[in-house]
Chain A
Amino acid sequence: MAVKVRIPTPLQRLTQGKEEVEGKQGTVIELINDLEAKYPGIAERISEGGKVRRFVNIYVNEEDIRFLQAEQTPVKDGDEISIVPAIAGGEQ
């Protein structure tokens, strides 16, 4: 078993088209930093200064990390991480 990371379509150009990649155990921010080592450019799309960007949602299994321990949420073998850019906009 490993950590499965689901990559959203806008970021798949950074993962050579892969929808799923393997992630590192530890914490969410450690996992993001490890992804950066494998797929340069991906971390800045997800986070800034060690914090997940406002318009990006990250789930560990079924839970939004904002309701867990945010960037310090533990990630362990068998977990599924989903990176989901928010959908927003409007007239102003």
Chain B
Amino acid sequence: MLHNSGYNSCDKRIPTFNSEKDRLLMFRNPLLLVAIGLTFGVAVWGIVDTQGLAQIAAEEVRILFRSRGWFVMLTATVLLLTCAWLALSRYGQVRLGKDGERPEFSTMSWLSMMFAAGMGVGLLFYGAAEPISHYLFINQHAPEMPAHEAAGAALFITHFHWGLHAWAIYGLTGLVIAYFSFRKGTPQLISAPIKKTFGEKKWVAVIGWLVDLLSIYAIAIGLAGSVAMGVFQVQDGLAALFSWDSVGLSVTLTVFGVLVMAYILPLTVDLGKGMALLSNTALLISVGLMVYLLLVGPTYFLMNGIVEGIGAYLTKAIPQGFRTYTFFEEAVEGWFSAWTLNYMVWWLAWSPFVGVFIARISKGRTIREFIAGVLLAPTAFSIFWFGIFGGLGFYQGAAGKLDPSVIETNINQTTFLLLDTLPLSALTTVATIAAAFLFIVTSVVSAAYVLAMFSTGGDQNPSVKVKLVWGGLLGFLGLAMILSNSVSAVRQIIALSAGPFVFIVVLLMVCLLKSLKQENL
């Protein structure tokens, strides 16, 4: 999934490990050791006292969301508006590379790689579950709202969570990394733009070190959460396929064990294009599934819903970015924290990982091209995806074929119960399980690579040992989250890890804007 393209020059202040002798010294790297110690500690805590970790995470996240939920929303909106301004301003013509440099990938393969980055196990998991969940909540708390309005509102909120605001967080992080690495020759580290902009000062070195540590921690926790959700998805897919009434811990651990074995191999050998092939296969299966649902489901109904969804999104997305539901009852505030705020910090947790990936494939693009591609293409895709999965969920629910209360009893099963209402359900269930599995394997392999790169000072070819250490730690963390056996606990642990990143992304934005002022345009 990630390509070893880009710059070769490294900041002299950051240690890199190029020779064999240096590689032996890498475990004396304080950042690597502290990062490993921190993530390992959380993993052990999660395994030994799963409920304790989940409870503390829930309490801390409640305090953080209550006290600075407004800042999270404001940051997401400001990042989106900044992206729009950069694309439309004279800075839009600045190239992410040397002047005159051409893009490394064709626009089509660039966009398809972008889909692959944005597509993930989350879309498979929440495709039908999220719109139905919002619909049920609206029905419960605003029973006077007509069903058609509630369905439209539920789809709009889902589009909002997966749309421009999410991609502005990814996009701006990716833009800062791409701009500084390809134009200023810095390593692809989150701290590099800060060091380049503010120079060699003691406080800059300390902040830079902390930023790298927090990035590593946020990526590790975010990815482990995805591993847990992927395992939940696969185990419930197997239950649907073989008509099991419930799934025991043994099945969960077996799925987890197979997953770990599947990603350990690619970490030990350089599969090169093999990883891209796996990622593209998962993407093709998912897109095939989406097209199948569109054609087999009530096509006219789904397309009507999608067009309405586009209209609602265009007119309401920006104002929604300022909504904090502060004058509503406590239940609505709780729903806002559990969904909207949680999503925003989830994107923040993933932003260093996805940002580096987007940056690496965007060399030679102008800022305008970059923002248009990163923000618009995945958002349009998400609107189609949720329009089809969510729309079909509403349709089958209204026809009495799908019981919406599954969201409350076992949210993991929603996608499979929806597929069960259509022909060839065994085949589509197997396809969903396969896609979820491949998405997790490719994500963990890519994440282990990025974590190894970040923790060794931006080394473009981190050793197998370091990648294996991170692969193992991601497995441990994933196991801790799996043992919590709760999607909401997983989301809260991720939210807690991403808390500081809301500040880091703003600091990165300041670095970019400050540096752009010096461009000779």
Partners in one complex: no
The residues of A with any CB-CB pair to B shorter than 8 Å are none
Instruction: Tell me the B residues contacting A by CB distance below 8 Å.
Output: none
